Amino acid sequence: MDMTLAGQIVGRILLSYFVVLVIMFLVSNFNLKRAFYHTHRWYGFIALVFIFLVGISSHFYN
């Protein structure tokens, strides 16, 4: 695995985490502590994996 591919995977994971955190921030009425808590629950993890896989799969259809 070259560094470009590794960087894209790590970047995609971090971006997915940030997207989930922002969504949880909006859902938790702009409370960052609650948003951080909800991001680290099981449904936050499932959302992160889903967003990551959708982003990765978009490279296969182009």
User: Cα 38 from chain centroid?
Assistant: 13
User: Domain residues for 32?
Assistant: 2-60
Which residues lie below 8 Å from residue 34, measured CB to CB, with a gap of 6+? 24, 28
Residue of higher predicted confidence among 60 and 32:
32
Give the count of domains, the chain.
1
pTM of structure: 0.86
**Over the stretch 4-43, which tens digit does the pLDDT of each residue have?**
888 989 999 999 999 999 999 999 999 999 999 999 999 9
- Per-residue DSSP letters for 1-62? --HHHHHHHHHHHHHHHHHHHHHHHHHTTT-HHHHHHHHTSHHHHHHHHHHHHHHHHHHH--
